[in-house]
Amino acid sequence: MIAIALACSPKILIADEPTTALDVTVQAQILQLLKELQQRYGLAVLLITHDLGMVRKVADRVCVMQHGKLVEQADCATLFAAPQHPYTQRLLNAEPKGAKPPAARDAPVLLQARNITVDFPIPRGWLRRAERFVAVNDVSLTVRRGETVGIVGESGSGKSTLGRALLNLLPAQGERHFDAVDVGQLDTAGWRRLRKRMQVVFQDPYGSLSPRLTVGQIIGEGLRVHEPELSKRQREKRVAQALHEVQLDAALRHRYPHEFSGGQRQRIAIARALILRPEFLLLDEPTSALDRSVQAEVLALLLDLQQQHQLAYVFISHDLAVVRAMADTLLVMRDGQVVEQGSAAQIFAAPQHSYTQELLDAAFWRHDRT
Ligand code: ADP
Ligand code: MG
């Protein structure tokens, strides 16, 4: 695309969200390329993006838009150092910052996974030699009560597959113990009892909620399965409580998902998970589809709920700033393997593996690592 754009030796290049769909390391390469081309050809670039980190890295001047108007215009250093307009200030504040206050190190172990391996059959005729593709290769991890384990890595590195394997949502080799119960040995009834204690929130707040059910029905669904003895009134009360926990008005339960914004839908998905009073939540890119300012609110809510209920999280994200704000310990994945694992604070301060360094350099040029 860049080659096409440059074919007629233009004087100005308009790049509209040029790297939004890319992983951080690829993003960094594309930005580097743009910079080089700009210098070589004396090109003016109009870069359109919602990514403030990128702006900070590449822009000379910045224009901030809100509701179709330019509300602020300044050179880059000035804008980031002293934003004038309230909207700019809000945008800058919404960048995930800082690290999570650490969870208790000696909290009891809730989930223990050993040597988890997941493979998928490869369609015949594609790669003839190997018949199975290993998406997760020999991963072990421990999740304590009240703790967040972050899983980072680029798309296709096996994060979601590992998350699903931890919850027994797909067949995997290896051992999983949840609260000292061997998940592999459970019968259907035992598994159902355990299942209630571990819940999932996925990335896409549009795709993951059924459009034909009201919000109340969606949130209450799990209760029908796991607590069928409840009366209709008891169920309604629990739905109202769950909505309250995610800071939504209980009156909204009669509405349908399409009437809500992305951030609200993600709150609904969280309420649906919380209503069963789980001890463990798998959060798979829970804020990746949201704008930064909405993302900040949902992250704050998740931290809050974790404190209140001593929830254990496995938090999957390709966004390192988000993971740093959320995780106690960290797994860095690449091609199905864990390349680095340990305390999040330590890994962010002094990454050992070259791939982790590459990820951090690509992501944190915007913060303290510059
Ligand atoms: P991530 O969440 O890190 O982006 P995934 O766990 O979704 O990565 O996928 C890891 C790898 O496993 C990818 O190469 C993906 O194509 C492959 N994969 C995931 N699910 C399946 C499946 N059901 N069948 C075949 N391959 C799969
Ligand atoms: Mg994924």
Residue 147: beta bridge partners? none
For residue 162, the ligand 1 atom closest to its alpha carbon is: 6
pLDDT score of 205: 61
Q: At residue 335, does pLDDT exceed 90?
A: yes
> Which residues are CB-contacts of 39 (< 8 A; sequence separation ≥ 6)?
none
| Gap between the Cα atoms of 50 and 16, Å rounded | 10
Instruction: Name which residue sits closest to atom 27 of ligand 1, judged by CA.
Output: 120
**What is the per-residue pLDDT across 139-192, written as a single tens digit (0 to 9) for each?**
999 999 999 999 999 888 999 999 999 999 999 999 999 998 999 888 989 988
Helical H segments across 310-341, by residue range: 320-326
Give the position of tokens 């649906």.
Answer: 272
Average pLDDT (342-369) is 81
CA of 71 relative to ligand 2 center, distance in Å: 36
The candidate with the shortest Cα–Cα distance to 209, out of 281, 164, 268, 290, is 268
For residue 120, the ligand 1 atom closest to its alpha carbon is: 25
pLDDT score of 203: 82
State the DSSP string of 233-281.
HHHHHHHHHHHHHTT--GGGGGS-GGGS-HHHHHHHHHHHHHTT--SEE
Average pLDDT (74-96) is 88
pTM of the model: 0.82
Q: At residue 361, does pLDDT exceed 70?
A: yes
174's torsion region: left (phi>0), alpha (psi -120 to 50) or beta? left
Average pLDDT (58-75) is 93
**What is the per-residue pLDDT across 291-304, written as a single tens digit (0 to 9) for each?**
777 888 899 999 99
pLDDT score of 172: 94
pLDDT score of 370: 36
Residue 364: pLDDT band by 50, 70, 90 thresholds? low
Average pLDDT (202-215) is 82
Q: At residue 44, does pLDDT exceed 70?
A: yes
CA of 316 relative to ligand 2 center, distance in Å: 8
Nearest ligand to the C-alpha atom of residue 152: 1
pLDDT score of 92: 83
If DSSP codes are grouped into helix, strand and coil, which group holds residue 25? helix
Question: What residues are neighbours of ligand 2 (ion), with CB under 5 Å?
Answer: 160
Q: At residue 368, does pLDDT exceed 50?
A: no
pLDDT score of 206: 66
| Gap between the Cα atoms of 45 and 15, Å rounded | 7
